[in-house]
Amino acid sequence: MIIPIAWRNVWRNRLRSLVVIIAITLGIFAGVFATSFMKGMVDQRIQSAIQTETSHLQIHHPDFQQEDKLLQYIPDANAKLDSLKKLPYVQSASSRLTINGMITAAGTGSGVTLSAIQPEKEKRITNINENIVKGTYFQDVPKRVKPIVIGQKLADKLNAKIRSRIVMQFADTAGNPISIGFRLMGIYETHNSQFDMRHVFVHSEDVRYLTGLPKDAGHEIAVLLKDNEFLEASEKQIATMFPDQKISTWKELNPELHYMNDIMGQYMYIIIVIILLALLFGIVNTMLMAVLERIKELGMLMAIGMNRRRIFLMIMMESVFLAVVGGITGILLGYGVTEFFGQTGIDLSMYATGLGAMGWSPVVYPDIETGTLIGVTLLVILTGIISAIYPAVKALQLNPADSIRTE
């Protein structure tokens, strides 16, 4: 009986109730969509980092440092690759030589990280081959040509074009300077302009003999998993297999992304709680006005026998109805818009240069989890309950006799 009465009371002043419901709807919609937008950006950045830069896991010599010496290599890298591919969680793995050096073309130079790869294996690990914008990815190359693939940003800096002569300079294991010429056969472009500027790729056989390293040596073994959910289990298993090597996950290789991923849930609830706190005062004000307008009516109900518990419950239900109707509408609207843009994407190409400098994609696909929507729904209901407490207590303080005489 109390529930239908409370529902009818909500609509006794339609305009006031609609204003409150619309305010709640817009507030919750804004919170849900802002959260899904940020989650979509972070998820895309993580996926891009895994597919382009780090893979899920990397194996290094315990003393390996990105800026340091060639001698910090993994022995028997090919044998380790064969063992890794037998693991149930591993999709593919590839070994690389990683050399810091200087690249020059047309009189212009830049410091870079040279990745000496096995192109066919590397294609199963990274998506550099899918991001080729000019030339080819180590395909259809004459036998005498030593091909090199560089990023678009670096090519612009070097003023290099396809088939331009590129010279790489680095030191071998004995510290002797090495200079070797390549022919630019491919230019790639990712969403991370800093990566494009820094990383170049060559065939491992074209430089290995110059470094003085053993034939089966590798500085880095990149491991791509079938799913990110297998990350911790795979890390433990690989660490057990190769106790003398250092195993690093993408979370360690890109700690800022790991941090952003961890705080996304907290960020969402902070945004929603701030919005609900602002809306809470609006609901309190609305319900207090409703109570004060109905002093005589409430006094009469108490006079004819409605106990205070029922009065309290009725006011509570009215407040919860306002919050739930507005909240659920806002959640559904936010979910619908998120699903729409999750398919079409939000184009931020006008900010592509700035986003690219930070590694972000210019097209964002918002995403939100079902658990998040359930959490927001519970927060909305809780807000309705809290906002009703003061108006309901105010109603209980009414004296039936005095209330009936109120004009």
Q: Which residues pair with 96 in a beta bridge?
A: 220
pLDDT for 11: 79
Closest by CA to 12, choosing from 297, 279, 281, 399, is 297
Query: How far separated are the first and last CA of the chain, in Å rounded?
Result: 28
pLDDT by residue for the chain (407 residues), tens only, comes to 677 877 787 777 788 888 888 888 888 888 888 888 888 888 888 888 888 888 999 999 888 865 556 788 888 888 888 888 888 899 999 999 988 889 998 778 889 999 999 888 888 888 898 999 999 998 877 778 899 999 999 999 999 999 999 999 988 887 888 899 999 999 999 888 888 999 999 998 888 888 888 888 888 999 999 888 888 888 999 999 998 899 999 888 888 777 777 777 677 778 888 888 887 888 887 777 777 666 666 667 666 767 777 777 887 887 888 888 888 898 899 999 999 998 998 888 787 777 776 777 788 889 888 887 888 888 888 888 888 787 777 776 665 555 555 55
Cβ-Cβ contacts under 8 Å for 253 (sequence gap 6 or more) = 53, 54, 58
Helix runs in 11-141, H state only? 14-48, 77-85, 119-122
Contact of 62 with 74, CB cutoff 8 Å: no
53 CA to centre of own chain: 15
Residue whose structure tokens are 């810091």: 100
Angstrom distance (rounded) from CA 308 to CA 321 = 20
Helices 308-344 and 14-48 meet at what angle, rounded to 10? Answer: 40
Q: Which amino acid is at 295?
A: I
Angstrom distance (rounded) from CA 261 to CA 301 = 54
Q: Which residues pair with 108 in a beta bridge?
A: 105
Q: Note the pTM of the prediction, 2 decimals.
A: 0.77
